[in-house]
Structure 1
Amino acid sequence: MPFTIYPAIDLKGGEVVRLAEGDMARATVYASDPAAQARAFAEAGAKWLHVVDLDGAFAGEARNAAAVEAILAATPAQVQVGGGIRTLAAIDRWFGLGVARVIIGTAALTDPGLVRAAAKDHPGKIVVAVDARDGLVATRGWADVSDVPVADMGRRFEDAGVAALLFTDVGRDGLLKGVNIEATAELAQAVKLPVIASGGLADIAEIRTLRVKRGIEGVIAGRSLYDGRIDLAAALDAAA
């Protein structure tokens, strides 16, 4: 199974930003043109892009659709999109626009039937976001924390036909503290679904470590790329 680097394009008010620990008040703007950023990542060799509508995650509906459409038009890279996607109509609309995968987070906890229905309609194209604070699932743009352990959440969808679980340690996201490799590996061993690591990637060495862990199929790269700590081409080489 190839190991995939997913450069992140987080959208807030039509701009490319990174948040610290998922806090909308702690946003750093990195680019005003999401399509140009997507082109740059694709030209560096990225085959996938991880796009999140941050405003949508809090609103519960798309808020940066125009920016996502511009990204889709600008690059041949495959795009997985998440953020406030909580209805079948919204899921169908994104696929109709040309995204390769849809990420479902909050709704996966509150409405698991939605995930099952979406995965039945779009097999292998739904990713379940399992965002965690201290091992428990966080929802609604990470503003709320449930009492559901992350492994329990993942197991609910093992037979649903989803593509992967996207695991984020919220306490590390955007802080360059390093991915929580131990927790990610534990989840990958506990479930029968591929796991994508996310939250705090800081250096190339982590990519090499994650790549050889059973069940981990890729990692999201965000602030480390924007701050120049990781060169995308070098990251892609390490992944290969």
Structure 2
Amino acid sequence: MRLLPAIDLIDGKIVRLTEGDFNTEEQYGDPYEKLKEWQGRVPMLHLIDLEGAKAGEPRHLDVVRFAKTCGFFVQTGGGIRSEEALDAVMATGADRVLLGTKAFTDPDFLDRALAKYGDRVAVALDAYDGIVAVNGWQEATDLKDIDAAKGLVDRGVKTILYTDIGSDGKLNGPNLERMKALREAVSVTLIASGGVTTEADVEALQAAGIDEAVVGKALLSGQVSLDDLIEWEARHA
């Protein structure tokens, strides 16, 4: 299983939220310093523009560009709701770009993105109690996560990042029930996000057939170290 250290950004700072609530913001320093610290130690990075997700347009493209100069495989997203924004993010050299809100509110936009950029386009499927949320997790839809995932695959999406909002930032493990249900429903690359805290979490996700997992607050808060992540990934390759 591949593990992706996560950096979430607001106002040029690394932050973590709990359940996507902007009132729970905790700051973890400068992203450029963190990227230099991680450079050469891990190959992949999950870089999310939370400020952009809330505003509806990317706000941290400079950080994405810097991450690419450091040699990371960069998965990034947040606020990509126009073709101009998508082109701008792709122009940074990002390897995998996550569409969120727009993928569900404007399926034609998703189709055009896939036609233009192919497998570099992935979709962030964020859900609370199995119900898809959009607009920076601030608005619930009437879509169920399994139905949404199947619909994305039908449109040609090859990678889905699933975030269980109820687990995010709580350090109490991923929602294995939802991850297993998604794995049974779709056969594309599936990435787990939310609550991944221990090696046991990694083992459980791997046993469920999950391809990749994002590790955020547990790493930034010091509950696990980057060395831990590197060792876990090596043992579960």
Q: TM-score, normalised by structure 1?
A: 0.93
**Which residue of 2 is the match for residue 233 of structure 1?**
230
Secondary structure at 1:37 match in 2: helix
Structure 2 contact 160–190 (Cα < 8 Å) conserved: yes
2:59 is aligned with 1:63: yes
**Cα separation, 2, equivalents of 1:132 and 1:228:** 26
Structure 1 contact 51–68 (Cα < 8 Å) conserved: yes
Secondary structure at 2:169 match in 1: coil
The aligned amino acid for 2:151 is R
Residues 232 and 92 of structure 1, relative CA distance in 2, 3 Å threshold: same
For residues 134-173 of structure 1, the aligned pairs below 5 Å read: 134-173=129-168
Match of 2:16 among 15, 18, 21: 18
Match of 1:184 among 163, 173, 179: 179
The aligned amino acid for 1:14 is G
**Cα separation, 2, equivalents of 1:147 and 1:160:** 19
The aligned amino acid for 2:54 is F
**Cα separation, 2, equivalents of 1:238 and 1:19:** 29
Match of 1:37 among 34, 54, 57: 34
The aligned amino acid for 2:62 is A
**Cα separation, 2, equivalents of 1:113 and 1:189:** 27
Instruction: Report which stretch shifted further, 16-25 or 224-233.
Output: 224-233
Displaced runs of 4 or more, over 4 A: none
Structure 1 contact 172–178 (Cα < 8 Å) conserved: yes
Secondary structure at 1:49 match in 2: strand
Residue 123 (structure 1) shift? 1.3
**Cα separation, 2, equivalents of 1:43 and 1:36:** 14
**Which residue of 2 is the match for residue 104 of structure 1?**
99
**Cα separation, 2, equivalents of 1:210 and 1:106:** 26
Matched residues, number:
234
**Which residue of 2 is the match for residue 49 of structure 1?**
45
**Which residue of 1 is the match for residue 191 of structure 2?**
196
Report Cα offsets for 1:180-224 as digits up to 9, x if no partner.
11211111111232210000111011111212323x210000011
**Cα separation, 2, equivalents of 1:139 and 1:239:** 33
Residue 128 (structure 1) shift? 0.8
Structure 1 contact 204–238 (Cα < 8 Å) conserved: no
**Cα separation, 2, equivalents of 1:226 and 1:27:** 13
Residue 28 (structure 1) shift? 0.9
Residue 162 (structure 1) shift? 2.4
Residues 238 and 227 of structure 1, relative CA distance in 2, 3 Å threshold: farther
**Cα separation, 2, equivalents of 1:36 and 1:160:** 39
Secondary structure at 1:10 match in 2: strand
Q: TM-score, normalised by structure 2?
A: 0.94
Residue 232 (structure 1) shift? 2.3
Share of identical aligned residues, percent?
37
Report Cα offsets for 1:110-166 as digits up to 9, x if no partner.
011111211111111111111011110011111111110001111112143323111
Structure 1 contact 6–50 (Cα < 8 Å) conserved: yes
**Which residue of 2 is the match for residue 218 of structure 1?**
212
**Which residue of 2 is the match for residue 131 of structure 1?**
126
Structure 1 contact 5–239 (Cα < 8 Å) conserved: no
Gaps of 5+ in 1: none
The aligned amino acid for 2:58 is A
What RMSD over aligned residues (CA atoms) do the two structures have, in Å? 1.4
The aligned amino acid for 1:198 is S
The aligned amino acid for 2:56 is G
Residue 9 (structure 1) shift? 0.7
**Cα separation, 2, equivalents of 1:239 and 1:21:** 28
The aligned amino acid for 1:50 is H
The aligned amino acid for 1:221 is V
